[in-house]
Structure 1
């Protein structure tokens, strides 16, 4: 069935196949190790204490079935913006619109969050950039300049984007390796892991959910699949395995490097650190590495934002192909090899949201909710497209995982994701009669939202989530009905 589907799908010939395997790996890896690597080790440690490295390891293992699903879909659908387009093929444009808006909003939220992470790290050296956890006028000015530069680089097209992303990704990977080796060797206090700490079950699960802010970047290579002749599925798997290693070692070294005076204030106080890894390196007696992290405070978030901005342009094209966006937003420029109008529109919107969002720690839960909801559609599509029994079992397991992680973020974050789906479906109903295949999606997110409204995640609520997810997975596979694509 997958082969038959692929015959009727094509990309605009103006897209250029200029991204190699290292670029595809960099797209996914660069999005995974963005601001999350700089801030989240301290945030997860504040929630899970010395168990924080296990939180990251568990988060990676938990998400692994979903990653494998998308690596398989990347091989079936090697097209631009394919994360949205395969949904249109299996469940129609109303469903594709819902998923597309989740990706769009999630990515649009990411860019200002990443810019704020940069301001946070710079404020460690220049305190005037931030005041009580919020950017000052100078801070907003710096964030605005970063966003403008990002969209200018996206405007250069896939070749310029690939060069920029490769340089940034492998540079920050080098900095992290230096941190793990230097700080791990010079200042590793094993006793820090034996300090008493009893995290609540809900906080532990929420910490796992927060790791998805970082790990969720695995899918970026898939967005550029149509602009490369390399194996996108392979690139996704390599990037994700590397990220799991990094996100287990960095929190491990971070906790081990902390002094008694820092930990004496309690694990919860770690979330207040403005530049956790830089401070960790300075405590360990290697200020040069700390200085590198102040530099990385600009590099890592900017790299993730750059990839995210590039994603947005491809999402716009995919939504136009599905008929959920005006065709003008999917028109590919001959010279640049990308749609130009979305660069201008999303650039302006990203600048606007810099001044509207809450702080990093308050915003990421909402972003995780949109990401996980969007990812829940991949397993359903693979179940329908693949005739392999092993793929169908994998799809079911991956879907259950997305349901569980979505519940981990808790209310009202779950409500935010549900409202995005509801508004997308309502907006598309006048333009398509094929809305039945999208109703399971609204029901799935709505039921999980209702459960999280009445209770925090517990050992008793999780089986209920699994049962509900099983029921909606069945509905999703039985009501599937796809639509064709627009010719752009």
Structure 2
């Protein structure tokens, strides 16, 4: 068994990789189209909202470090059946979310380099196989690889910002709210999923050398990195591109063209690859360990439990995720299923996991503390967001029903515990004096 544990640098890289996604390549433009320069307020508001979500999960992970992640928190707060439902939401949503994420990355790379649908599918397949291969090798490899890739990504984003800043014009901030300040809300809704992912890495809490100490530090460092990259990129896009920002589908390419010229397309393609791979790598690391933990707890077949201990590689759980992801890909290709519904269905499950984890935090964290109030606020906001999933809420409801049904079925099949064997009763013979007999 491997004794490898996640350090601060690798942990921060995995966390950042889970939060960052290929969406930041296009979302600055979409948010500016909705709210103009006032979209910067949406970026800032969501970054502030990340604080209570991230600190709640960090506090829970420090108290209950386990590969079950949110499912473990929910088990402590609401019992085993609720925990099984939450575990199913995350585990079985990933085979839909991972191929969809790979396809988005493939689209961006193919579009940037002038390729078509065949190139998109090829890039997506390579990304998906690379993410599974990295996790099969274990956290020692995938964590170090994540550290290198996130470091490279951060450098490229900073290059894009720094080289474009000389072209910034403060006049591009006016009019600041061309569609009114009320448009900041829809812009924030659009940007929300670029700040999600904190629930995915809770399953790695047991992999840290000292969860109580390291999770807090990693969370702080991740928030700092996200703040610099997101706010720096959004502000530079607004100041440099101005009105042109709302009319482009590839704002980062335009930004890079200001500083790097003809190399912009190639650099953007590399960044899309790094962003997509980093997200899938982090989510797979968490989901595979969750699957092993669910099997350990009797919510999935026991054969999948191998690898649930810290330092081990849950290869059987990964293999099942790979098979399910492949089936989703085949189904989507055969039926011509659109990307949007697949992503919305997976998102409904991931949001439901976040809500469940925050509600567990309200139950488990010290009542009245700052982190408790943060969990309360975040739980309310996330519940409202979950309600907007509409008909896609049927998927987490169905998965929850299957999880509860499996638990009940396995409980009935489990042999009843034998009655405890009691020692035979031996009659006590009283002493003559006690019987009142005289000689």
| TM-score band, normalised by shorter chain | 0.7 to 0.9
Once the two structures are TM-superposed, the CA of residue 351 in structure 1 deviates from its matched residue by 3.4
Aligned to 1:415: 391
Query: 1:354 & 1:252 partners in 2: Cα distance?
Result: 37
1:288-437 to 2 correspondences below 5 Å: 288=263, 290-332=265-307, 337-354=312-329, 356=332, 358-359=338-339, 364-390=343-369, 391-407=371-387, 410=388, 413-416=389-392, 418-432=393-407
Deviations 1:186-214 (A, max 9, x none): 2213223214631695x643432343322
Relative to structure 1, the CA distance from residue 45 to residue 116 in structure 2 (aligned partners, 3 Å threshold; closer, same or farther) is: farther
| Alpha-carbon contact 1:277-1:290 (below 8 Å) kept | no
Find the aligned partners of 1:63 and 1:76 in 2 and give their Cα distance: 20
Q: Between 206-215 and 172-181, report the one with greater CA deviation.
A: 206-215
What are structure 2's unaligned runs of at least 5 residues?
A: 410-439
SS in 1 for 2:178: coil
| 1:3 counterpart residue number | none
SS at match of 1:258: helix
| CA 1:210–1:81: 2 relative to 1, 3 Å | farther
Structure 2 residue 174 is matched with structure 1 residue 194: yes
Partner of 1:389, secondary structure, is: coil
Cα deviation code 1:364-403 (max 9, x no counterpart): 5554433332111223222332344214433322221222
1:183 aligns with 2:164: yes
Aligned CA distance change for structure 1 residues 43 and 151 (closer, same or farther; 3 Å): same
Q: Distance in 2 between matches of 1:138 and 1:199?
A: 41
Taking a change above 3 Å as real, the CA distance of residues 24 and 298 of structure 1, as seen in their structure-2 partners, is same
| Structure whose alpha-carbon radius of gyration is higher | 2
TM-score by length of 1: 0.74
CA distance in 2 between counterparts of 1:189 and 1:370 reads 42
Deviation at 1:245, TM superposition (A): 2.8
1:422-467 per-residue CA deviation (whole Å, 9 max, x = no partner) reads 2133223434569xxxxxxxxxxxxxxxxxxxxxxxxxxxxxxxxx
CA distance in 1, matches of 2:342, 2:185: 17
Could you tell me the TM-score, scaled by structure 2's length?
A: 0.82
For 1:47-86, what aligned pairs fall within 5 Å after superposition?
Answer: 47-86=34-73
- Which residue of structure 2 aligns with residue 170 of structure 1? 151
State the aligned residue count: 399
Partners of 1:206 and 1:329 in 2: CA distance: 42
Structure 2 CA distance for partners of 1:98 and 1:40, relative to 1, 3 Å: farther
Flag structure 1 segments of 5+ consecutive residues without an equivalent.
1-13, 130-135, 435-488
Give me the CA root mean square deviation: 2.8
SS class of match (2:230) = helix
Please state how far the C-alpha of 1:147 moved relative to its aligned partner: 1.0
